[in-house]
Amino acid sequence: MRKWVVVTAAVAVLAAVPVAVLASSGGGNTAVNCQTVAWRTAPVSTSSSGFTTIGGLKTTVASIFPMSISVSAVVSGQPVAFRLRDISVAGNKVVPPGVAPFVTTGSSANSFAYTWTDPGISTAVRGHQFLVQWRRTSDSGTSTLKRADIMVLYQTEQGACRG
């Protein structure tokens, strides 16, 4: 009898693992009919340990569907972390999966690229403003962003792409 209880418990645990993994992940498909980009070529520096918005790296899009937001940058100096904020009528939130740390090497400039996925919000009346934010992650020093860009791929109503 005890053997059956142990076997049953082991099977239950093994069956629960895939369910837990599925519950903590997500996904979906969205047709893409728009691309919005912004970039900056003027260097900017930070010594802040709190997140600050990088001027010139913001985009505004109209979509209720999932979106892909890619940011690339050339950074020198101390290590940094980037995050993306979505400002909409539904609120001000950090875009999943959250903070992306970037460790620079030496005094030369290093490249960074990361893609965030915003699930979209049907109650957001389609308006989203994405802000790229960064902060220094070391105890002291300065980090310099040499140049950067942001690109958003999304779906919106036919003919509504700005351009």
Looking at the structure of the chain, the number of domains it has is 1
Domain membership flag for residue 47: yes
Query: Considering the entire predicted model, what is its pTM?
Result: 0.78
- pLDDT number for residue 161: 76
Domain membership flag for residue 80: yes
Of the listed ranges 49-58, 64-73, 120-129, the one predicted with least confidence: 120-129
Residues sharing a CB contact under 8 Å with residue 87, sequence separation 6 or more, in sequence order: 128, 129, 130, 131
Residue with tokens 């400002």: 87
- DSSP type of residue 95: P
Domain membership flag for residue 66: yes
Task: Please state, rounded to an integer, the average pLDDT across all residues of the chain.
Answer: 82
Output the domain CATH number for residue 95: 2.60.120.760
Q: Which helix (H) or strand (E) holds 140?
A: none
Domain membership flag for residue 131: yes
Q: Sign of the C-alpha dihedral, residues 13, 19, 23, 24?
A: positive
- pLDDT number for residue 2: 52
Domain membership flag for residue 127: yes
Strands 110-118 and 143-154: unpaired
Residue 113 has pLDDT above 80, yes or no: yes
Reduced to 3 DSSP states, what percent helix, strand and coil does the chain have, rounded to the nearest 5? 15, 50, 40
Domain membership flag for residue 23: no
Residue with tokens 């009898």: 1
Average pLDDT over residues 126-144: 92
Domain membership flag for residue 3: no
Domain residue limits at 73? 34-154
Residue with tokens 């369910």: 19
Between CA 25 and CA 133, with CA 148 as vertex, the angle to 5 degrees is 55
Band of the pLDDT at 19, cuts 50, 70, 90? very low
Domain membership flag for residue 29: no
